[in-house]
C-alpha cells in the first residue's frame, strides 16, 4: 500500500522539507486508510513550514489554497498537497472558520481535525504521532470526535454528516458521545451548502453498508433536516460502485417530487438525465421492455433499473437474456443508421411538411426496431407509400 506512487511522492516531499530543516508528516485519510489496508486516493502532507517556506524549498509549486495554507508541490513521482500546520479561528456560521492561524506545533494541527481516526500523523520513518487514540479507535472500528463532540459539531456542522458517511464507508460504529452530540446539533446541518452535502452523500452511496449509514442518518435525527425521504428500510441490500446509481435509487424512493428533491442537492444536468432515464426504464419494466427500450436506453441505465426492480421486489417482466446480448441483437443501434430521413419523405410524398413527418419517422423507426420493416431504402419507400403517402 505505502509503496504506491502517491505515497512515494509524499515521502519524497517530506524528505526534502526535513532536509531544509522543517518538520513534515503524512496526515488524515491516507494514514487512516493505510491502517485499514484500504487504498488511499490522496496522500496529504502537513508541515511546520509556512506556505512561502514550502514554496522556497521546491522548484514546482501551485498555489491551490494558500489562504488555508495549502500548496501543491510537484515532484517527479507526482503532485502532493502540502498544508502548513494550522488551527482554525473562530467559527461564527457553523461552516468555516473566520480565518485560520498557522502554527508550528503538530499537536495543535491534529486537534482541529474532526475524528480521532483522521487525526493520526505518520513520519517518514513509519512512526506515528497519535495524541487522540486514533489507532485504537481504528482497531475498535469506531468514529469518535476529537475533543468535545458537541463543540466540534457546533463549529462545523458538516462534520456530523461526515461521521455518518464514514460509518457507511468503513462499516464503523459512531461512539455514543459523538452520536448524542449529532442528535443535539442536527438542525445545524441547514447551515451547510448543498454542494458539500452532496459530496458527502456521493461517498455515502458508495459505502460498504449504505443501509447502516441510512439507519444512522435517521437515528441521529439528521435525516429530518435534509431534503427528501431517507427511510433506511429500503436500502437493506443496496450496494454500488457508481454514485449516480445511489442518486437514482434515492430518486426512485422520493415518488412524484423526485426532481425537486434532487435539484436541492444541485445534481448536474448529466446526473439528472441519467436518473430520469433510469426511472423511466424502471416504470416501463413493469410491463416488460421491448426493442424500443433496448434501443433508447444505455446498458448502464437498464442495468440500474433492473437492479432496482430486484431491490424493490417488483413484479416485473424481467429480460430473459443479458441486456447487452439483447442490445447486440437490435437491427440498428443508432438513429443515424436509418437509411431514410425527413428530406426523403418530403421528396417522395410530394406533400408539405408537418407533424406527420415526425410521426412517420417515429413509426418507421419502431417498425425497423421490431423487425417488421427492413432498413432498406426501397422497402421503406414501399412501407411509407402504403402507410402515409396514399392516404386520402
Residues in 194-213 that interact with Mg ion by CB under 5 A: none
CA distance linking residue 269 with residue 267, whole number of Å: 7
167 binds ligand ATP (CB under 6 A): no
* Of residues 119 and 302, the one with the C-beta less far from ligand ATP: 119
Of 110-118, 230-238, 289-297, 378-386: span binding ligand ATP (CB under 6 A): 110-118
Q: Cβ(220)–Cβ(182) under 8 Å?
A: yes
Residue from the set 6, 81, 109, 114 that interacts with ligand ATP by CB under 6 A = 114
Side-chain half-sphere of 75: how many Cα atoms within 13 Å? 22
Site map (CB under 6 A) of ligand ATP, residues 179-208, x = contact: ------------------------x-----
Residues in 315-354 that interact with ligand ATP by CB under 6 A: none
Residue from the set 23, 29, 219, 300 that interacts with ligand ATP by CB under 6 A = 29
113 binds ligand ATP (CB under 6 A): yes
* Of residues 172 and 388, the one with the C-beta less far from Mg ion: 172
Which one of Mg ion, ligand ATP, none is in contact with 198 (Cβ closer than 5 to 8 A by kind)? Answer: none
To the nearest whole angstrom, how small is the minimum distance from the Cβ of residue 241 to ligand ATP? 15
Q: Say which residues have a Cβ less than 8 Å from residue 345's Cβ, sequence separation at least 6.
A: 357, 360, 361, 384, 388
The region, left, alpha or beta by phi > 0 then psi within -120 to 50, assigned to residue 221 is left
Q: Cβ(9)–Cβ(99) under 8 Å?
A: no
Paired with 100 in beta bridges are: 88
* Of residues 166 and 297, the one with the C-beta less far from ligand ATP: 166
Residue 288: Cβ-neighbour burial (10 angstroms; 0-12, 13-18, 19+): exposed
Question: What does each C-alpha distance from 57 to 16, 51, 54, 104 come to in angstroms?
Answer: 7, 10, 5, 17
78 binds ligand ATP (CB under 6 A): no
To the nearest whole angstrom, how small is the minimum distance from the Cβ of residue 29 to Mg ion? 4
156 binds ligand ATP (CB under 6 A): yes
29 binds Mg ion (CB under 5 A): yes
To the nearest whole angstrom, how small is the minimum distance from the Cβ of residue 94 to ligand ATP? 11
Of 28-36, 190-198, 240-248, 269-277: span binding Mg ion (CB under 5 A): 28-36
Site map (CB under 6 A) of ligand ATP, residues 207-236, x = contact: ------------------------------
> What are the helix (H) ranges across the chain?
5-19, 29-35, 51-57, 106-111, 134-140, 149-155, 158-170, 176-185, 194-205, 210-219, 243-252, 258-263, 269-285, 291-296, 299-311, 323-328, 342-349, 355-369, 377-384
79 binds Mg ion (CB under 5 A): no
* Of residues 26 and 302, the one with the C-beta less far from Mg ion: 26
User: Within a 10 A sphere around the Cβ of 71, how many other Cβ atoms?
Assistant: 26
69 binds ligand ATP (CB under 6 A): no
Question: What does each C-alpha distance from 217 to 43, 60, 154, 167, 233 come to in angstroms?
Answer: 29, 43, 18, 10, 12
Q: Which residues bind Mg ion (CB under 5 A)?
A: 29, 42
Amino acid at each position: 500500500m505505502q509503496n504506491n506512487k502517491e505515497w512515494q511522492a509524499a515521502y519524497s516531499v517530506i524528505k526534502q522539507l526535513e532536509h531544509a530543516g522543517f518538520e513534515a508528516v503524512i496526515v488524515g485519510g491516507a494514514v487512516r486508510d493505510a491502517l485499514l489496508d484500504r487504498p488511499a486516493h490522496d496522500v496529504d502532507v502537513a508541515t511546520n513550514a509556512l506556505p512561502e517556506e514550502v514554496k522556497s524549498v521546491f522548484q514546482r509549486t501551485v498555489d491551490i489554497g494558500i489562504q488555508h495554507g495549502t500548496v501543491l508541490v510537484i515532484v517527479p513521482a507526482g503532485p502532493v498537497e502540502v498544508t502548513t500546520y494550522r488551527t482554525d479561528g473562530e467559527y461564527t456560521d457553523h461552516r468555516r472558520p473566520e480565518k485560520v492561524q498557522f502554527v508550528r506545533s503538530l499537536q495543535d494541527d491534529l486537534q482541529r481535525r474532526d475524528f480521532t481516526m483522521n487525526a493520526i500523523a505518520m513520519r517518514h520513518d513509519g512512526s506515528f504521532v497519535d495524541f487522540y487514540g486514533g489507532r485504537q479507535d481504528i482497531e475498535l472500528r469506531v468514529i469518535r470526535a476529537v475533543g468535545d463532540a458537541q463543540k466540534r459539531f457546533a463549529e462545523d456542522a458538516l462534520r456530523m454528516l461526515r461521521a455518518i458517511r464514514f460509518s457507511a464507508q468503513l462499516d464503523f460504529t459512531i461512539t455514543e458521545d459523538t452520536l448524542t452530540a449529532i442528535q443535539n446539533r442536527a438542525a445545524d446541518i441547514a447551515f451547510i451548502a448543498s454542494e458539500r452535502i452532496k459530496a458527502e452523500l456521493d461517498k455515502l452511496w458508495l459505502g460498504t453498508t449504505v443501509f447502516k449509514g441510512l439507519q444512522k442518518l435517521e437515528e441521529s435525527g439528521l435525516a429530518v433536516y435534509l431534503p427528501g425521504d431517507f427511510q433506511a428500510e429500503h436500502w437493506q441490500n443496496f450496494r454500488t460502485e457508481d454514485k449516480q446509481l445511489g442518486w437514482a435509487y434515492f430518486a426512485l424512493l422520493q415518488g412524484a417530487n423526485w426532481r425537486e428533491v434532487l435539484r436541492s442537492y444541485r445534481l448536474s444536468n448529466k446526473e439528472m438525465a441519467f436518473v430520469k432515464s433510469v426511472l423511466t426504464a424502471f416504470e416501463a419494466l413493469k410491463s416488460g421492455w421491448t426493442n424500443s427500450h433496448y434501443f433508447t436506453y444505455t446498458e448502464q441505465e437498464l442495468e440500474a433499473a433492473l437492479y432496482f426492480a430486484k431491490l424493490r421486489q417488483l413484479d416485473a417482466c424481467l429480460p430473459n437474456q443479458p441486456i447487452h446480448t439483447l442490445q447486440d441483437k437490435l437491427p440498428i443501434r443508432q438513429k443515424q443508421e436509418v437509411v431514410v430521413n425527413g428530406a426523403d419523405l418530403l421528396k417522395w410524398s410530394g406533400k408539405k411538411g408537418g407533424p406527420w413527418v415526425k410521426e412517420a419517422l417515429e413509426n418507421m423507426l419502431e417498425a425497423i426496431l421490431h423487425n417488421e420493416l427492413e432498413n432498406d431504402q426501397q422497402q421503406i419507400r414501399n412501407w411509407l407509400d402504403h402507410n402515409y403517402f396514399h392516404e386520402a
